[in-house]
Each structure stands twice: as C-alpha cells, then as structure tokens.
Structure 1
Amino acid sequence: MTELLFEGADWNFSTLQRIHDTCETVAQRELGLDTYPNQIEVITAEQMLDAYSSVGMPLFYKHWSFGKHFAFHEASYRKGLMGLAYEIVINSSPCISYLMEENTATMQTLVIAHAAFGHNHFFKNNYLFKQWTDADGILDYLEFARGYVSHCEERHGRVAVEQTLDAAHALMSHGVDRYPGKKKLDFREEEKRAGKRRLYEESAFNDLWRTVPSGPAKTRATLSVERRRALLGLPQENLLYFLEKSAPRLAPWQRELLRIVRHIAQYFYPQGQTKVMNEGTATYVHYEIMNRLHRQGRITDGNFLEFLQSHTNVVFQPDFDDPRFSGFNPYALGFAMMQDIERIVTQPSEEDREWFPDIAGRNDVMGVLRDVWANYRDESFVSQFLSPHLMRQLRLFHLHDNPSDRAGILVDAIHDERGYRRIRRELSRQYDVGYIDPNIEVIDVDLAGDRRLMLRHTVVKGAQLNESDAKRVLQHLADLWTYDVSLVEIDAATDKVMKEYVINPRIQPAAA
C-alpha cells in the first residue's frame, strides 16, 4: 500500500520535506521539468504583508512607500476586505518560495507544486527571463542595493535620498531596455564595478557639457544636430539610463541610485509580459502534480477535494456582466489554454488540424508545452495558440465602440473564421507591451540654449497620457534633469501634435 504524504491538516517541517521531494519526483521524472534548486521558507501573515509592500523581494532597501503599502494592505486584511496569497515565489537561484504558516498540509502541497516547480521551471526556461534576468546574482545585488541606500542616507541625509528614489520610482516603467541585443545584466559584476566607474563617468558627461556654447560669438549652429544626438545617444527610450549618463548636475551617488532602480526594473520586466503564461504554467503544473499524487494514493480523497475547491477558486472567470468582472483572470485564461493545447495534441478535431498543423495529434503533451513555455510571451502565446474551440467555450466576441468611426457599440467579430482571427488578434494586443505601454523617447536636448530636455510620445489609436499623471511624472524627470523638460504627444498616423507639456524643475540637486 502506498504511504500517504500526510494525514489531516497538520504539518511539520519533515512533512514539508517529504511533500517537496515527492513533488520533485513527479515534476522531473513524469513532467520533465527543469528547475533551479528550491529554498522553501515558511512565513507569518504579517511577514506576507511585509513582502507585499516591497514587491515580494526578500531583501530590499528602505523607502517610505513600502511602509505606506504595508499599512494599506494590513488594514484591508484585518477588516476582511482582502485575502493573502498562499505563496510568493522569487525568480532567483536558488528559487525562493514563501509559504504561509496558516496553510493546511494540502495547501502546502499545492503551493509547492505551483511555485517551487511550476513558476520555477518557467523562470529558468522562458527566453525572456534567460535574456533579461540574472537569477544567480539578484539576491547579492539586492543586498548591495540595501547597503548602498543605507550608506547614502547616512552620508547625504534621508530626505535627499528619498527625493532621488521618489523620482526614480516614478520613472521605473521607463527605465528598461525593451529590445534584444543589449548585454544581459550580471548583478555580481554590477556590484563589483559600482565603486570603479565614478571618475570615468564624470569625465564622460563633463566632456559632453564642455561642448555647450558659452561665449556670445557662438550660436545654436555651433553644435550640429547630428553630433549632439550622437554624444547623447539619442533617441533614447530608457529614461533612467539617459539621466544616469547625461544629467548634468546629478551627484555620483544619485547616478548609482538611478542605476539600482533601473536594474531592478529590468529584472521585473519579463514578468509583466508573461503573466498569463507564467500563472497558466504554474496552475497546469500544480493541477497535474496533485492529480498524479491522488492517483498514486499519496493524498486522500478529502485532501483532493480540498485542493479542487481552491483550484476552482483560482481559475474562476467572472462573466462580462458580472459585477466582479475586471478583465481576464490570467490564471483562468492561461490554464484553459494549456489544457486546450493538451486536447489538440492528443485528441484533435479536423478544425484543430487545420489551425494547428504542427502540434495537432503529436501525442507528446509535455514536449509541446515545454516548448511553448520556453519560446513565447503572452502576446505571441495568445496570437498563436488561442483556438476557435476555446473561443467558443469562453464565448468570446469583439465589440467596436469608436464613435469617430461608427455610432454606437457594434459586434465586430463573431464565431466564423474571420471573426476568430480578429478576436485572437485583438486579445493578443492587450498583452503586447509595444501596443499598451506608451512609446516615450528622449529626442533632443537644447545644449546651445536653455538646456531643455525634449521628449516625444508617439500616440497609438488616440491613447494619450493621463494629464495629471503625466505632469507628476514629468515633474520628477525635471527635478533629476534640473532644467526644463518638454513632452510632445504626436499622433502616429498623422504626425499631428495632440498636446504639449512644459515642466520646470522645482528642486535643486544635492551637492556631490
């Protein structure tokens, strides 16, 4: 008779070790998963709230906003207005999974399968994480960042450090390299180089500013547009990188803070592009592992029913007219697509063979899924693998509501071949960072005049910036630049100027 992993709801650390080892056997031998070494840590509800406040990282520098987030989440939790995640998982090597101590043994099994093997495999194998992140060095770099910020507060004052971090955090989403070809971050090397580059960087940006015309005989034509843009590396979409290298009056410690925030933003960049796939992968993996453990007699029927109740809640998708609807649940959509790929691979219809000739009927479910998990992000995953069968099952359709084109809200795509392709294309765009993130670039600096920093936002389909948010973020940008900042919104289709902002700096930079 097969031995049960546990009985009842209680567990201890030897139980967790047994659960982990059994899940690992299923994950590696039966599902063929390739993971980082696992580090399992059990934390309290308060520690989980603390992890929420600092974006789930085990080591992080201090900032007032983290305390604000903690107070908000704690009050909501105590009033019963929100629940807590069963786990948090860190993309690092070893992969750290935080488990709530309040979880039952069944839930600990579920979250170990979900986080320590599902998310872990995805982190290690997906091309975006391999291309952009350094799992081996992130924890050491976060420790360095925490120590560096603390040192800056002691030397330059907490207020000055917080002002710089406030501005950097406001620009964090515009502090990443979005296209391949850039050198992958090596956090350990970054830490080693942090103390060696000051003199070179100071001379580099000082050489740039020595070219600024200063005498009355010189004019704007003295410095050609081509030379100016070449010296500044323009156009540049990574605003934090540009400020770090070219802002004329930042102190070296401020540049290092911008670099730290930029590197952390880059570390999180792939996660925003893979939410559906990442959660869909982890949910599919935990579903498979729990089912196999039940079939092997390692968990009881009661344990399995407890798991199914939690799993059903996780993949629940409210209908469009449900008051709880707020878009697609990434767990629900991702898991549904993974199961649908399994159906196409093992029991394809003629429609499936026409739409998916490369995978229909291959009968290698895990081989196909591992390839998908490694080589796609949300946008390409939906555009390539959302099937007509699943669209009918989810009852998807597309509405057209552009008043400048047609009056009223009209159904624009239904369940026919053209409609399927349009629905798939429109849904995939909701996950395309090139489509949903504002395209903002530094295009020039008026070196010969008032040193104004000039930015351009290329507006796609009329999606302009929120005015109040734009002004607040541009104010932070101007404070770092220490001269005027202008931003022009230009329609991508017509090149028409739609709006222009001009912001003056409100503070002077701290002394070096």
Structure 2
Amino acid sequence: MNDYTLRELEAWGDRIEELVRSAGLECYEQFFEICDYEDMLCYEAYAGMPSHYPHWSFGKMYERQRTFYQYNLVGLPYEMVINSDPCLAYLMRDNTLALQVLTMAHVYGHNDFFKNNRLFKEYTRAELTVELFKNHADRVRGYMADPSIGPDRVERILDAAHALRYQLQRFGKREQKHDREQLTKESEQDIPDRLKNDLLTFLAERGKLTEWERNLVYIVRDETFYFLPQLETKIMNEGWASFWHYKLLNRLALPQSLHWEFLQRHNLVVRPHANRINPYFLGFNIFTYLEETYGLDYIFQVRTQERDQSFLRRYLTRELCEKLCLFSYTVRGNDIVVKEVGDEEGWKTVRDDLVKGVGLGSIPCVVPLAVERDQLVLEHVFEGWELDITYARETLKYVVDLWGGRVSLKTQLSGKAKRLICSEDKVVSLIDDI
C-alpha cells in the first residue's frame, strides 16, 4: 500500500458508506479491489470487465495507453467502476489515502446513479452483467477454437459489428431478438417497422450470415446496449458522482492534511478543460446550481429521469452559460466563427450546439431504407452535419460484410443529394442521387 494500511482504508470506507446511507443514496452492494497500474491499464482496455471476449482492438487500446502512460503523456483513472450488482470498482494501489477516500465517495455516486437512472433500468440488468460478459467471452473463444471457424473469421465479423455498433434503436424500448419463424413471417417486407431505426439488428436478422456469425453480431449488440446508458449520461453521471464526493467528504471531518489534499484533487477533477467540455466540470456545476435553486429532493428526481441531452436542454441556463464561460464555434473556410453567450440568441445557440454533440448525438445516424433487387439501401438521417466521406466509405465495406451483397447510402454533401455505392468486392463510388 502507500502511506496507509488496508485496515485504515476499510475504516474510511465504512464511514463513507454510513454517510451514503444517511444522505439518501440508494446503492447496490459495493465491492472495491486494489490494483496496480498494469492491472488498471488492462481493466481500462477491457471496459473494467473481469471477463471479456478477445479482440485485437482491446490489445491495441492497452498498448496505446501503456505507451502514453510510460511517456507521461496521459494519467490513469483514479478509479474504474462498472454497472453491476454487486457494484465493482477498482482503486489504484499508488493513490494517496486522501485520493482513495475521495475516490470511494465518488464511486458511491456512480453506484447510486447506475441503480436509479431510468436509462440504466431500461437497457441493463445489473445483476446479470458479469455473467453476461463471461458467457459472451466463452462463446467467442469457443468459435475461435473451432477448427471449422478459427480466429480470422471471427475477427472479420467482430470488426464489422464493432464498426456499426451504435447504429441501433436509439430511443424507446430496445428491440428483442426474434426467432426464425417470426422472421419468416416478415420476409415479404423490405424493412419491418420495428427495424426501421435499427440497422445492426436488421443486418443480424436479414444479412447472409451463418448462425455463429449472427450470434457474434448479437453479442456486440447486447454489449452495446449495456454501454449505451453510460454514453448517453456521461455528463450527468460524472457530475452526480463529483457532486456527492464533494458533499460526503465535507461531512466526513477529514484531518486537515487530508482535507487540504481532497480540495486540491477535487478542483483538478472539476476544473474546465481548454478546447473541450469536461463532463465532471459541467455536470458538477449544474447539479450544484439545481440543489441551491430547487433543493436536494429535486436533484434526486433529475438524476432518475434525465439523459445528457434533456439535462442540458432543461437546466443549462443563460446564467450558468455565463458563469462557466461557455461558447461555441464553427469553421467557415479558413475562419473560425465564435458564438458567445452575450444575448438571448447567443446562449441558446451555445446550449443547443452542446446538446447536439453529447451522447449518440455525436454519432451519425444511418438507417435501413429499402431492399432493391438484393441491394440494401441505407439513409443518413441528416441533421445539419455532413458525413466524413473517407470514414463512410470504410464503414460501408463493413455493411457489405454483414449484408452479403451490394450496399448504397443516401446522404447530403454541400446541400446536394449524393449516394455512396459499395459493390460486393468493396469498390466504393460516389454519385449524384437523382
């Protein structure tokens, strides 16, 4: 350990847990694991899961983070916590006692958010999380070990599914898997209503895939649904955890030396970042404002009901925009045009630009439109932001892998209707869409 013993850390943990209960936070049972920096790098690469299926992208992430860390280009997270019941969190062995205490309090904030926010209730079953990921890992390794399949064929499907993992039902109830008999009944429809906003599930059901390939796509899809609430509530989740670690530690009667370090660490966590939004900073300040304005009971309701987009649209006021010095900008040719909060139109533009860029709003939405003589026609749901054509070309090739035939994509470029067409041999062309 560092400058403290495990027994001391457990004693502080017990005191924090007592404060958590008295504050009204409702949490899963909480487990902490102490790990060194190598372990933390592994957990970071594999999303914190004790077991996860193998894929080259996870190893790439590990090597990238390890290299950056060794050259002091990035730090490591003070903690990592996963949405499971019981809730699992990892603490860095090299953390000081003050940082461990702050981190444990921060983890309980995440824990409460996981258990109570409606998106986590809708999309995940925390009690099955660890077993779900373990079963997926066992199945993928089984396919890789099968002499008739092998790792190369498995990775080909996983690569394609990873590239398309966020092209699924974004709002409302998640689509459940249908058996083959139900699918046969829908075979005369090009795109069933239930799949018109769910490209990944459509490809899993209608693509020219073997059963094991179909299962791999469903594995990626199911794990994406697990991570989706975290993507959609990043600002709220980190803001809620920061709000509670600050409140709990101020109630903890820390010795002066620990309290001083706690304040330093807290200010580092919730400080603004240059050229980008720090979710800890923004979420913490909004929750603090809401408590001061409406009271503690009100923010518990906000924590339960909102996602980042609705949270910002409803509660990022002009007063907060001015206080936090927020602005937005656009690039016009060689110029950067900055929009400041100054007037009524200005702050709403700043707020709305921020809303559009959080969660899935930052990821283009592509939906299945029709099947024309075995060609799958996709449509980019245009919301003012053009596709990166280089990226779109490569992504279409992955759609071909799952569809098993020619694919085209309708979009807009410079105000004109365009269509990207990808042949079965993965030659991509861009034409006017007449």
TM-score of the superposed pair, with normalisation by structure 2: 0.90
Instruction: Give the equivalent residue in structure 2 for 1:251.
Output: 210
What is the distance in 1 between the residues matched to 2:145 and 2:18?
Answer: 49
Preserved contact between residue 408 and residue 419 of structure 2 (Cα < 8 Å): no
Of all paired residues, the percent bearing the same amino acid is: 33
- The one of 341, 354, 358 equivalent to 1:431 is 358
SS at match of 1:459: coil
Aligned CA RMSD, in angstroms, stands at 2.6
1:335 aligns with 2:335: no
Q: Which of 367, 372, 381 is the equivalent residue of 1:441?
A: 367
Which residue of structure 1 aligns with residue 57 of structure 2?
Answer: 65
Matched, 1:279 2:243: no
Higher mean displacement: 50-59 or 260-269: 50-59
- Which residue is equivalent to 2:156? 163
Shift of residue 241, structure 1, vs aligned partner: 0.8
Confirm or deny that 1:309 pairs with 2:300. Answer: no
Q: Using the alignment, how far apart are the partners of 1:292 and 1:276 within structure 2?
A: 24
- Structural mapping, 1:498-509, within 5 Å: 498-505=418-425
Residue in 2 aligned with 1:194?
A: none
Task: Report the 3-state secondary structure (helix = DSSP H, G, I; strand = E; otherwise coil) of the residue aligned with 1:497.
Answer: strand
Give the equivalent residue in structure 2 for 1:393.
323
Give the one of 76, 94, 101 matched to 2:86: 94
Q: What aligned pairs does 1:50-449 form with structure 2 within 5 A after superposition?
A: 50-115=42-107, 117-155=108-146, 156-174=149-167, 176-182=168-174, 200-201=179-180, 227-229=188-190, 232-233=192-193, 236-248=196-208, 250-294=209-253, 299-318=254-273, 325-344=274-293, 359=294, 365-399=295-329, 412=339, 414-431=341-358, 433=360, 435-446=361-372, 449=373
Q: Shift in Å at residue 205 of structure 1?
A: 5.7
Say which one has the larger Rg. Answer: 1
> Is residue 276–residue 334 contact of structure 1 (8 Å, CA) maintained in 2?
yes
Q: CA deviation at 1:432?
A: 6.1
Structure 2 partner of 1:213: none
The aligned residue for residue 382 of structure 2 is 459
Instruction: State the 1:138 CA deviation.
Output: 1.2
Assess, with a 3 A threshold, how the Cα gap between structure 1 residues 479 and 424 changes in structure 2: closer, same or farther.
closer
Q: 1:441 to 1:394 in 2, by over 3 A?
A: same
Count matched residues.
425
Offset of residue 45 of structure 1: 0.5
SS state of the match for residue 126, structure 2? coil
C-alpha change, 1:251 and 1:86, in structure 2 (3 Å) is same
Report the Cα offset of residue 171 of structure 1: 1.1
What is residue 32 of structure 1 aligned with on the other side?
Answer: 24
2:411 to 479, 484, 489: 489
SS in 2 for 1:501: strand
TM-fit CA distance, 1:137: 0.8
CA displacement at 1:11 relative to structure 2: 2.8
Contact 1:114 1:286 in 2 (8 A): yes
Compared CA separation, residues 88 and 246, structure 1 to 2 (3 A): same
Q: Output the CA distance in 2 between the equivalents of 1:487 and 1:387.
A: 39
More off after superposition, 263-272 vs 375-384: 375-384
* Native 8 Å contact 2:204 2:217 kept in 1: yes
CA–CA separation in structure 1 for the residues paired with 2:25 and 2:72: 37
Alpha-carbon displacement from aligned partner over 1:134-190 (angstroms, at most 9, x marks no partner): 11111111111011011111112111111111111111121x32121336x8xxxx9
Name the CA distance, whole Å, in 2 between partners of 1:150 and 1:161: 9
Q: Answer yes or no: is the 8 Å Cα contact 2:233–2:359 preserved in 1.
A: no
Q: Following TM superposition, by how much is the alpha carbon of 1:15 offset from its aligned partner in structure 2, in angstroms?
A: 2.3
Q: 1:277 to 1:111 in 2, by over 3 A?
A: same
Question: Which 4+ residue blocks in structure 1 deviate beyond 6 angstroms?
Answer: 206-209
Q: Which amino acid aligns with 1:14?
A: R
Deviations 1:265-312 (A, max 9, x none): 111111111111110000011011111112xxxx21111111111111
SS at match of 1:97: strand
TM-fit CA distance, 1:17: 2.2
Structure 1 residue 235 displacement after superposition? 5.6
Q: Is the 8 A contact 2:234 2:359 kept in 1?
A: no
Question: Take 2:197 and 2:425, find their aligned partners in 1: how far apart are those partners?
Answer: 21
For 1:378-414, what per-residue CA distance to the aligned partner results, in whole angstroms no more than 9, with x for missing partners?
11111111233322222334556667xxx97666554
Cα distance in 2, alignment partners of residues 326 and 501 from structure 1 = 36
Q: 1:400 and 1:146 mapped to 2: Cα distance?
A: 43
TM-score in terms of structure 1 length: 0.77
Q: CA separation in 2, counterparts of 1:55 and 1:469? A: 24
- Worse-matched range after superposition: 410-419 or 91-100: 410-419
Cα distance in 1, alignment partners of residues 129 and 230 from structure 2? 15
Tell me how far apart the structure 2 counterparts of residues 424 and 159 of structure 1 sit (CA, whole Å): 46
In structure 2, the CA distance between the partners of 1:503 and 1:234, relative to structure 1 (3 Å rule), is: farther
